[in-house]
Structure 1
Amino acid sequence: MTENRQRLKALKVSGAIAIIFGALTIAAGGRALFGGAAARAAVGDAVPFVLWFNFAAGFAYVAAGTGLWSLRRWASWLSVLIAGGTALVLVAFALHVFLGGAFEMRTVGAMFLRTFVWAAIAVVAMRHPTR
């Protein structure tokens, strides 16, 4: 496979992952934030700033994924911003937990997963420059 085809494939796969991840994030966050009483009760001790960040970031995920799929340079930078923003929210969340704030254990895993996924997408995007 030529280098150009590898670059194209890496960006397309990253873009597809970002779009799917974003759609799932928007759906889950929307249900938690705007769903009925049962949906809100199901989230348990969700940390509001984490929940709102993730919901809003879901839209950025879809935008970045669409841009990566379309081979747009701005999407690489948006991916870096998402990765950095997610890492900062993870640090803020860790501080919240350290200070004794209520939280759900699944949020720990979800935030590490989000940070890892976006760091990987950002690395792929920056290693394979677009137009």
Structure 2
Amino acid sequence: MTGRKRGTRIAALVAMVFGGLTILSGGTTIMGALDMGAVVPFVLWFNTAAGFFYVTVGVGLWVGRAWAFPLALGVLVATVLVFAAFGLHVVRGGAFEMRTVAAMTLRCAVLAGVALAARHGSKGR
């Protein structure tokens, strides 16, 4: 297995596991089984839905689909826009948890890494 393919496979696994955990935590919070404090509803719903796209990107990377990169990039851009809207919510005095700031920062970083790996992986095809 080439280094490029290995990196793509690792990124695929990261995307699928990260997506699965996102769906699990978001779903349990939405269903009321997990109290996360001052939840910002649009962030919670977006992140939960985005988890399905992380998994889809991961599957696409794993099987070598060319659409994995544009999808990963689209999810990253959408996440950055939601993060910006969250920032506006905070600036306007809306209730929030600091862990949301950390979680959104982590999401952006992970998605940027996955998108980068998808871009490099698609160059080798």
Please indicate the TM-score interval, normalised by the length of the shorter structure. over 0.9
Q: Which residue of 1 aligns with 2:55?
A: 62
Q: TM-score if structure 2 supplies the norm length?
A: 0.94
2:77 pairs with 64, 81, 84, which one?
84
How far apart, CA to CA, are the structure 2 residues paired with 1:67 and 1:128?
A: 11
How far apart, CA to CA, are the structure 2 residues paired with 1:10 and 1:18?
A: 12
Q: Which amino acid aligns with 2:25?
A: A
Higher Cα radius of gyration: 1
How far apart, CA to CA, are the structure 2 residues paired with 1:11 and 1:70?
A: 10
After superposition, the C-alpha distances for 1:41-92 in whole angstroms (9 at most, x for unaligned) are x211100000000000000011100110111111111110111111111111
Aligned length: 124
Q: Which residue of 1 aligns with 2:11?
A: 14
Q: TM-score if structure 1 supplies the norm length?
A: 0.90
4+ residue runs of structure 1 moved beyond 4 angstroms? Answer: none
Gaps (5+ residues) in structure 2?
none
Gaps (5+ residues) in structure 1?
none
1:33 pairs with 20, 30, 34, which one?
30
Measure how far apart 1:29 and its partner are.
0.3
Higher RCO (CA 8 Å, separation ≥ 6 residues) = 2
State percent identity of aligned pairs.
Answer: 48
